[in-house]
Amino acid sequence: MRIAVVGDTLLDEDIEGTATRLSPDAPVPVVDVTRRSRRAGGAGLVATMLARDGHEVTLVTALSDDDSSGHLRRALAHVELVAGPSRAPTPVKARLRAGGATVARIDEGCGPAPIPAVTPEMRAAVAAADVVVVADYGRGITAAAGLREELERRGRDVPVVWDPHPRGEDPVSTVRLVTPNLAEAAAAAQRAPVPEAAEEACRILRARWRAPAVVVTLGEHGALLLEEDDEPWLARGEAVVAADPCGAGDRFAATVATVLAEGGNRRAAVRAAIDAASAYLAAGGVAALAG
């Protein structure tokens, strides 16, 4: 199975340390750094997960040529990378952590970015895929006309799963399933971000996006799926206490795509994805990917 992951790639950093005293300059903790780790985030995290699952993965993205991009390329050494030129700095999200808790997050290069250029190699990678996961992080790649045309075309023959972003583009019309979380769905549908509003948000977004199905992930409450038959289906999940939920939505979308590509229906895909996301969090979440 050839999987194309299409989307915006970020560099995630974890700066770990200990905090046992306050700064004399201000009432803030002083963190003595003991470890710094870097990994691919955004679409890069989805590709990393799928590669670790043993799949043949191609990451279709845009990368800059700065130092942070170099760290990204090293982090993605195990993934086939088809990257066009970015017209913006590499977005970096660094979390400062002490005692297992996040003290602060420092973002660099995360402002609005111009739409990146699309290369023939990027289009060819989508055209050759057996399944496509779109991981939109609002950095412009899903707005690139040539790439959208290829996604629209490929979606007529293979499953395309679209994980949207509030600042991103609408899914293409041939998408098989759209997977917003509750906050994303509520913002897009202009509804309250509460589980009780999920069904209405699903209906609004399915009509707006002309999508055959939308599933809204609800954290510990599971996920709500709305398909063509217009009957909502709630798949409940196992509650998992996780200090860091980062990446759970990526794990969900990646699993949905593989199940659909293997011939499973949407309900089977959602059920498997909920279980996979719960297992991912129970195993330590994104921190476990370093092992």
The domain that holds 28 is classified in CATH as: 3.40.1190.20
Element (H, E) at 255: helix 248-261
Q: How many domains does the chain have?
A: 1
How many CB atoms sit inside 10 A of residue 200's CB? 15
CA distances, 149 to each of 28, 145, 156, 249 (Å)? 50, 6, 11, 26
**Crossing angle for the helix pair 43-52 and 67-75, to the nearest 10 degrees:** 20
The arithmetic mean of pLDDT across residues 157-183, rounded, is: 95
47 lies in which domain range? 2-290
Contact indicator for 125, 133 with CB cutoff of 8 Å: no
Give 117: exposed, middle or buried? Use CB within 10 Å, 0-12, 13-18, 19+: middle
- The pLDDT of residue 242: 60
Q: In the prediction, which pLDDT does 226 show? A: 96
Residue showing tokens 């980062």: 246
d(CA 41, CA 18): 25
229 carries an active-site annotation: no
**Per-residue pLDDT, 291:** 47
Q: Taking the C-alpha atoms of 202, 264, 280 and 174 in order, what is their torsion angle to the nearest 10 degrees? A: -50
Question: Within 10 Å of residue 112's Cβ, how many Cβ atoms?
Answer: 9
User: Tokens in use for 44?
Assistant: 């890069």
Q: Rounded distance, CA 5 to CA 45, Å?
A: 10
Angle between helices 248-261 and 43-52 (to 10 degrees): 60
Residue 243: what pLDDT?
57
Residue written as token pair 């560099």? 11
Calculate what percentage of the chain has a pLDDT beyond 90. 81
Cα–Cα distance for residue pair 112/91, rounded to 1 Å? 10
Mean pLDDT of 172-185: 96
What pLDDT is attached to residue 165? 92
| Range with lowest mean pLDDT among 91-100, 129-138, 252-261 | 91-100
pLDDT band at 158 (very low <50, low <70, confident <90, very high): very high
Distances (CA, A) of 151 to 13, 81, 173: 31, 18, 9
Strands 2-7 and 131-135 turn out to be parallel
Judged against a pLDDT cut of 80, whether residue 238 lies above it is answered with no
Does position 240 have pLDDT exceeding 90, yes or no?
no
Catalytic residue among 12, 65, 250, 275: 250
